[in-house]
């Protein structure tokens, strides 16, 4: 019998439904009549409840969305959801106070508190310390890497430096937001990308001078970030057209060229102490906290030298970790290795007439240099040792990290990891070695990763190499 009829039968008995004797229809019998009516009411109740339960979460969702929109408008924020405490119970005219049971639990987990950072600069720092399993297994030590590629502005440790240089300049009144001021810098890429990102966020323009032999994706990225980019031919640092000297000159020319009251600020990452102090203030303390101060070695390459100097200063001078070895990871062609090992700045590839490219003769970008900068010098005496890494070792390490750990890194990271392995093998088993994942392989597709492909390291037999030391040509280090 259709529900409609049942309901009618129970609630609106008609004259024909009166009980009669003999030959009576089922509905005419009073007990049967009552049972059917009760069953019908019960069934109807279940159906209504089920229907309400189905559409209730959607109604609740809509209500919350509308309420949050109104609230966030009146708070002037960007749609941050109000804390759940305000919406656990809600009065309903029909049902009284409504408890948002399982459905409420889901939404409250997502939006249980205000948790935001202030702008893109809030995404800088506090990067994870990653255990690299394959390197630890191979060396018998604990190899950890600070994932600096996760810094959220420009995706490298230079985010910390760019932010500190801008804040330092603002404090000294050298930069004023919204005045049309321009930040000028000479960089091989990473610092420029961090500066360009933060410049926009903080109300400045950015002008980058870089060597034209760096991976093209870096200057494309700078362009998309709204920076003016000048790619220049390789020149010695003594030349006025070296990319760093050009950036300094452009900053000096700014006022005359613009005449609108805005100024040009030369960030000067190689010589500015706001570079290494960024690492004294943030990277060093983070590493100390993440390891509980238990680290036997810190390994890093040097471009400006800001990272290795800043971290070394914090760990040794401020935390008295004088037993922690600080080791420079240096690519082929750089003079720093000899400076640390032998006290003289010399690389055979730098002999007069033999230099092929801008800074150092290597495919590696971001680290390796043939002059002593203020930043490197400020921590030089704290560096205990240096490891020289060839381009081939760097390429093989990068490929190894993808294959064994799923880590897709740039060239300076690969150099760091080779040097971390060499350092670990000179320490007792179980020692802790910390290095850096500087930037992602995405920035190095057209050069470094192309070279890796050209070397055949991505074809099947090569990709499955299982002996790290044989891969790196370091069999003599095996325990
Ligand atoms: N890795 C990359 C990718 C870099 O760009 C740089 C900086 N040029 C470094 C490492 C080295 O950092 P620092 O300048 O602090 O020595």
Task: Provide the token pair at 339.
Answer: 């400076």
- Strand ordering across the sheet containing 129-131: 129-131, 142-147, 432-437, 297-300, 325-331, 385-389
CA of 404 to the centre of ligand 1 (A): 25
The Cα–Cα gap between 248 and 185 comes to: 7
Q: Let me know how long the chain is.
A: 479
Index of the ligand 1 atom closest to the CA of residue 158: 7
Write the residue with the smallest CA distance to atom 2 of ligand 1: 366
| Cα–Cα distance list, 312 to 133, 278, 382, 439 (Å) | 25, 12, 6, 21
Choosing from 127, 155, 158 the residue with most ligand 1 atoms within 8 A of its CB, the one to mutate for a pocket test is 158
- pLDDT single digits (tens) 305-319: 999 999 999 999 999
Q: Is 441 in the pocket of ligand 1 (CB under 6 A)?
A: no
**What is the per-residue DSSP string for 350-384?**
GSTTT--SSSSSSS--S---SS--HHHHHHGGG--
CA of 160 to the centre of ligand 1 (A): 11
Contact between residue 448 and residue 366 where contact means Cβ atoms under 8 Å apart: no
Q: Is 411 in the pocket of ligand 1 (CB under 6 A)?
A: no
Instruction: Tell me if the pTM is above 0.85.
Output: no
The Cα–Cα gap between 309 and 29 comes to: 98
When pLDDT is cut at 50, 70 and 90, the band that residue 445 belongs to is very high
Write the residue with the smallest CA distance to atom 11 of ligand 1: 303
Mean pLDDT calculated for residue range 165-171: 98
Q: Is 316 a catalytic residue?
A: no
Q: Is 278 in the pocket of ligand 1 (CB under 6 A)?
A: no
Index of the ligand 1 atom closest to the CA of residue 161: 15
Mean pLDDT calculated for residue range 260-264: 97
- pLDDT single digits (tens) 2-25: 434 433 433 333 333 333 333 444
pLDDT of residue 271: 97
Asked if pLDDT for residue 441 goes beyond 50, the answer is yes
pLDDT of residue 92: 41
CA of 301 to the centre of ligand 1 (A): 7
Index of the ligand 1 atom closest to the CA of residue 412: 1
Write the residue with the smallest CA distance to atom 10 of ligand 1: 366
Catalytic residue among 25, 53, 158, 205: 158
pLDDT of residue 2: 40
CA of 293 to the centre of ligand 1 (A): 24
Q: Is 190 in the pocket of ligand 1 (CB under 6 A)?
A: yes
Q: Is 306 in the pocket of ligand 1 (CB under 6 A)?
A: yes
- pLDDT single digits (tens) 349-377: 555 444 444 456 899 999 999 999 999 99
Write the residue with the smallest CA distance to atom 6 of ligand 1: 366
Contact between residue 195 and residue 218 where contact means Cβ atoms under 8 Å apart: no
Q: Is 151 in the pocket of ligand 1 (CB under 6 A)?
A: no
Write the residue with the smallest CA distance to atom 8 of ligand 1: 366
Choosing from 304, 376, 442 the residue with most ligand 1 atoms within 8 A of its CB, the one to mutate for a pocket test is 304
Choosing from 211, 377, 438, 442 the residue with most ligand 1 atoms within 8 A of its CB, the one to mutate for a pocket test is 438
Asked if pLDDT for residue 245 goes beyond 90, the answer is yes
Mean pLDDT calculated for residue range 188-193: 92
Contact between residue 193 and residue 124 where contact means Cβ atoms under 8 Å apart: no
Minimum mean pLDDT range among 77-91, 228-242, 386-400, 441-455: 77-91
Choosing from 367, 371, 441, 448 the residue with most ligand 1 atoms within 8 A of its CB, the one to mutate for a pocket test is 367
Looking at every residue in the chain, the average pLDDT score rounds to: 83
Contact between residue 243 and residue 209 where contact means Cβ atoms under 8 Å apart: yes
Q: Could you tell me where the beta strands, DSSP code E, fall in 321-476? A: 325-331, 385-389, 432-437
* Alpha helices (runs of H) in 265-342, residue ranges in sequence order: 273-278, 284-291, 306-312, 336-342
Minimum mean pLDDT range among 28-42, 154-168, 274-288: 28-42
Index of the ligand 1 atom closest to the CA of residue 443: 3
CA of 309 to the centre of ligand 1 (A): 12
pLDDT of residue 40: 77
Q: Is 302 in the pocket of ligand 1 (CB under 6 A)?
A: yes
pLDDT of residue 95: 42
Q: Where do the domains of the chain lie, and which CATH numbers do they carry?
A: 1-118 (no CATH), 125-153+283-477 (3.40.50.1100), 158-266 (3.40.50.1100)
**Percent over 70 (pLDDT), the chain:** 75
pLDDT of residue 345: 84
- pLDDT single digits (tens) 28-66: 556 666 676 777 777 777 776 665 555 455 555 565 555
Contact between residue 153 and residue 120 where contact means Cβ atoms under 8 Å apart: yes
Q: Is 359 in the pocket of ligand 1 (CB under 6 A)?
A: no
Choosing from 146, 151, 157, 219 the residue with most ligand 1 atoms within 8 A of its CB, the one to mutate for a pocket test is 157
CA of 194 to the centre of ligand 1 (A): 12
User: Where does residue 36 rank: exposed (0-12), middle (13-18), buried (19+ CB within 10 A)?
Assistant: middle
User: Where does residue 315 rank: exposed (0-12), middle (13-18), buried (19+ CB within 10 A)?
Assistant: buried
Q: Is 410 in the pocket of ligand 1 (CB under 6 A)?
A: yes
Contact between residue 84 and residue 103 where contact means Cβ atoms under 8 Å apart: no
When pLDDT is cut at 50, 70 and 90, the band that residue 347 belongs to is low
Asked if pLDDT for residue 174 goes beyond 80, the answer is yes
- pLDDT single digits (tens) 78-133: 322 223 333 333 434 444 444 434 444 444 455 568 899 999 999 999 999 999 99
């Amino acid at each position: 019998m259709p529900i409609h009829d049942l309901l009618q039968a129970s609630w609106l008995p008609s004259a024909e439904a009166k009980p009669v004797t003999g030959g009576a229809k089922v509905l005419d019998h009073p007990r049967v009549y009552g049972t059917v009516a009760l069953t019908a009411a019960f069934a109807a109740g279940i159906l209504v409840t089920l229907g309400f339960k189905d559409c209730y979460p959607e109604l609740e969702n809509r209500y919350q969305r509308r309420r949050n929109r109104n609230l966030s408008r009146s708070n002037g924020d960007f749609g941050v959801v109000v804390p759940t405490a305000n919406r656990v119970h809600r009065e309903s005219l029909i049902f009284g106070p409504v408890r948002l049971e399982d459905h409420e639990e889901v939404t409250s987990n997502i939006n249980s508190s205000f948790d935001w950072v202030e702008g893109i600069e809030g995404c800088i720092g506090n990067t994870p310390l990653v255990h690299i399993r394959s390197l630890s297994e191979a060396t018998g030590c604990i190899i950890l890497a600070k994932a600096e590629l996760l810094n959220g502005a420009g995706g490298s440790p230079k985010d910390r430096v760019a932010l500190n240089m801008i804040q330092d300049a603002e404090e000294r009144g050298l930069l004023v937001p919204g005045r049309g001021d321009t930040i000028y810098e000479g960089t091989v890429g990473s610092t420029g990308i961090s500066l360009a990102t933060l410049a926009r966020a903080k109300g400045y323009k950015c002008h980058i001078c870089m060597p034209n032999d760096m991976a093209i994706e870096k200057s494309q990225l700078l362009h998309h970030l709204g920076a003016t980019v000048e790619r220049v031919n390789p020149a010695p640092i003594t030349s006025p057209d070296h990319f760093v000297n050009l950036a300094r000159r452009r900053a000096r020319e700014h006022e005359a060229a613009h005449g609108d009251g805005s100024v040009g600020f030369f960030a000067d990452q190689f010589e500015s102490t706001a570079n290494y102090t960024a690492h004294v203030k943030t990277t060093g303390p983070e590493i100390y906290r993440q390891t509980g101060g238990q680290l036997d070695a810190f390994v890093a390459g040097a471009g400006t030298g800001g990272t290795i100097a800043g971290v070394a200063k914090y760990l040794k001078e401020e935390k008295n970790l004088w037993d922690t070895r600080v080791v420079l990871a240096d690519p082929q062609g750089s003079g720093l290795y000899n400076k640390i090992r032998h006290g003289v700045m010399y690389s055979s590839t730098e002999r007069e007439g033999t230099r092929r490219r801008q800074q150092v003769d290597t495919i590696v970008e971001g680290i390796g240099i043939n002059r002593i900068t203020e930043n490197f010098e400020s921590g030089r005496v704290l560096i205990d040792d240096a490891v020289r890494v060839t381009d081939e070792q760097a390429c093989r390490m990068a490929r190894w990290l993808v294959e064994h750990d799923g880590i897709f890194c740039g060239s300076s990271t690969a150099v760091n990891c080779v040097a971390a392995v060499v350092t670990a093998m000179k320490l007792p088993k179980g020692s802790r070695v910390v290095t850096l994942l500087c930037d992602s392989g995405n920035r190095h597709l057209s050069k470094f990763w192309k070279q890796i492909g050209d070397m055949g390291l991505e074809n099947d037999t090569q990709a499955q190499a299982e002996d790290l030391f044989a891969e790196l040509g370091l069999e003599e280090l095996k325990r």
